[in-house]
Amino acid sequence: MPGSAHHGVRAWWDALVTVAAGVAAMFAVAAPGLWAAGAGGLPGGAFLAVLAATVVTAVGGTVELSGDAGFVASTAGGLNVVPLSVTLAGALTIAGMFLRPLRHRAVASGSELLAAVARTALLWLVAVALIAAGARHTFRIDLGDSIVEDIGEALGATPEVGFRAAVAPTLGFALLWLLVLLAVATAVSRRTPLPSRLLRFQDSVRPAAFAMLVVLLGYVVMGLLVGVVVLIVRGHAAETAAVLLLGLPNLVWLAFGVGLGGSWDGRVPGDDIGLPVPKAFAAVLRERDGKDATVNLSSLAEYDGRAWLLVALAVVALLAAGFVAAARSPARTRPWQHAVRLGVALAVTLLVVGLLTRISARFGLSLLGLGDLGGLGGEVSLRPRLLVLTGLGLLWGLLAGFLGSLPAARVRRRGEVSEERR
């Protein structure tokens, strides 16, 4: 009985450490990123609230914008964007801490794994609820010499705008985020034991899943190196650091999808995005007569011919992924099986990349109910063509899985006995 109680306390402690470490990692990445982006100078002590809102959006939550100036003016809008640098920091930390107690185990029952997931999920929901509660702030709108300012002063109505996290949807999406993360982490890690009923799937799922993880993280590492070089050579240290700490995976994973032939539709009002993203990308997205622009290889190449290098980079990455997946699979696996498994894995990966790189942000100010005022409303959007992206992933994965498995046939697998020793 004492041993059972000690095991229960230890299990809850492991879950608490996992959640605390993940939250700390996200705050540690988001805080300097926001500071570099200029959020440190927000009025009214809004930095901490913006920081909490950033973490909320990093786990799939939604931030709502609203405000009013009595009956004179009202504001409305919404923000749906995932700062994937923050997301990735939290995901890697939570996955590593969750799997750590299991890596030295030979077997693990299904009930044991489910109990570990349930403990982590419960504490995770508590942490997200507390963060979401702090993700709210209201501050005054400075409209200068506009007509709204004059009317507001005359009537004693001060225009204000605020933001807050939508708690219920945030908790739902955060729970889904955690469950998917833990499922992927368990599927990728070869050292983590699986319940006996799932052992038959490990040879078909784990090698391809691990290969896709290597590709995504490889793109992030390459993007980080390029960002550091840009920071040193071209300056703009604060802006570049903001991109690296908030949205690096957003850019590099979009580049991965574009290199495979994928497309995104979107718009950005004005002439400047505000952060030092690639010039070709910014030029394509600039709003043109209210119409959406299409981000793909051809549109990017119109502004920078080096965009075609994304194809070569994607091909090399996928061939490497095909080799890695085949080398980690049993020797009896046939080339067509490697192709099918990598095709499915890449299709799912690009589907997730498309969903995570979506952007939807809108803010408007209406006067006396007469709609958005021209210079005070705007919309930023970026939407993937998911069906095309998923189909391309399947086709590219089939080809890369087959070709990558051919040189892997000469690689000795773990636990394989050579013909001489036989």
pLDDT, tens digit, for every residue of 205-217?
A: 889 999 999 999 9
Q: How confident is the model at residue 136 (pLDDT cuts 50, 70, 90)?
A: confident
Instruction: Determine which helix (DSSP H) or strand (DSSP E) holds 337, and give its type and residue range.
Output: helix 335-356
Residue 91 has pLDDT above 90, yes or no: yes
Q: How confident is the model at residue 366 (pLDDT cuts 50, 70, 90)?
A: very low
Max mean pLDDT among 15-19, 63-67, 81-85 falls in 15-19
Mean pLDDT of 331-341: 89
Residue 372 has pLDDT above 80, yes or no: no
Nearest CA among 86, 112, 129, 85 for reference residue 14 = 112
77 bridge partner residues? 65, 363
Query: For residues 15 and 115, is the Cβ–Cβ distance under 8 A?
Result: no
Mean pLDDT of 341-346: 95
Residue 374 has pLDDT above 50, yes or no: no
Helix residue spans in 61-166 (DSSP H)? 84-99, 110-134, 147-155
Instruction: Determine which helix (DSSP H) or strand (DSSP E) holds 317, and give its type and residue range.
Output: helix 309-327
Q: Could you say which DSSP state residue 286 is in?
A: B
Query: For residues 107 and 20, is the Cβ–Cβ distance under 8 A?
Result: no
The three-point CA angle 50-238-35 to 5° equals: 20
Mean pLDDT of 381-397: 93
Question: Can you read off the two tokens belonging to residue 337?
Answer: 């099986």
Question: Can you read off the two tokens belonging to residue 192?
Answer: 């983590």
What's the CA gap between 48 and 53, in Å, rounded? 9
The mean of the pLDDT values for the chain is 81
Nearest CA among 154, 153, 152, 167 for reference residue 74 = 152
Q: How confident is the model at residue 389 (pLDDT cuts 50, 70, 90)?
A: very high
Residue 252 has pLDDT above 60, yes or no: yes
pLDDT at position 420 is 40
What's the CA gap between 16 and 99, in Å, rounded? 14
Query: For residues 67 and 75, is the Cβ–Cβ distance under 8 A?
Result: yes
Nearest CA among 166, 154, 164 for reference residue 69 = 154
Share of the chain above pLDDT 90, in %: 42
What's the CA gap between 93 and 97, in Å, rounded? 6
Parallel, antiparallel, or unpaired: how do β-strands 264-267 and 378-384 relate? antiparallel
Residue 65 has pLDDT above 90, yes or no: no
pLDDT-wise least confident of 40-49, 273-282, 404-413: 273-282
Query: For residues 208 and 245, is the Cβ–Cβ distance under 8 A?
Result: no
Q: Is 243 in a helix, a strand, or coil?
A: helix
pLDDT greater at residue 42 or residue 166: 166
pLDDT greater at residue 115 or residue 20: 20
Question: Can you read off the two tokens belonging to residue 293?
Answer: 């622009």
Q: How confident is the model at residue 69 (pLDDT cuts 50, 70, 90)?
A: very low
Mean pLDDT of 228-248: 85
**7-16 pLDDT, tens digit each:** 678 889 999 9
Helix residue spans in 194-273 (DSSP H)? 202-234, 237-259
Cβ-proximal residues to 124 (8 Å cutoff; 6+ apart), any chain: 19, 22, 174, 175, 178
What's the CA gap between 422 and 419, in Å, rounded? 5
pLDDT at position 385 is 93
pLDDT at position 149 is 53
Please tell me the number of Cα atoms within 13 Å of 230 on its side-chain side. 20
Q: Which amino acid is at 411?
A: V
Mean pLDDT of 191-213: 81
pLDDT greater at residue 204 or residue 313: 313
pLDDT-wise least confident of 137-151, 300-314, 380-394: 137-151
Q: Could you say which DSSP state residue 7 is in?
A: H
Residue 141 has pLDDT above 50, yes or no: yes
Q: How confident is the model at residue 181 (pLDDT cuts 50, 70, 90)?
A: very high
Nearest CA among 121, 88, 115, 92 for reference residue 102 = 115
What's the CA gap between 383 and 236, in Å, rounded? 28
Cβ-proximal residues to 84 (8 Å cutoff; 6+ apart), any chain: 58, 247, 248, 249, 250, 253, 356, 357
pLDDT at position 421 is 43
Question: Can you read off the two tokens belonging to residue 261?
Answer: 């032939």
Mean pLDDT of 400-416: 76
Residue 159 has pLDDT above 70, yes or no: no
pLDDT at position 72 is 40
Residue 271 has pLDDT above 70, yes or no: no
pLDDT greater at residue 151 or residue 100: 100
Mean pLDDT of 128-140: 86
Mean pLDDT of 127-138: 90
Question: Can you read off the two tokens belonging to residue 216?
Answer: 């995504």
Q: How confident is the model at residue 393 (pLDDT cuts 50, 70, 90)?
A: very high
Q: Which residue has tokens 């009985």?
A: 1
Mean pLDDT of 217-228: 93
What is the pTM for the complete model shown? 0.85
What's the CA gap between 312 and 232, in Å, rounded? 26
Return contacts of 109-115, CB within 8 angstroms, 24+ apart.
109/195, 110/195, 110/197, 110/198, 113/186, 113/195, 115/11
Maximum Cα–Cα distance across the chain:
94
Nearest CA among 116, 126, 90 for reference residue 10 = 116
Residue 196: C-alpha distances to residues 103, 199, 201 (Å): 16, 5, 10
What's the CA gap between 162 and 139, in Å, rounded? 6
Q: Which amino acid is at 208?
A: A
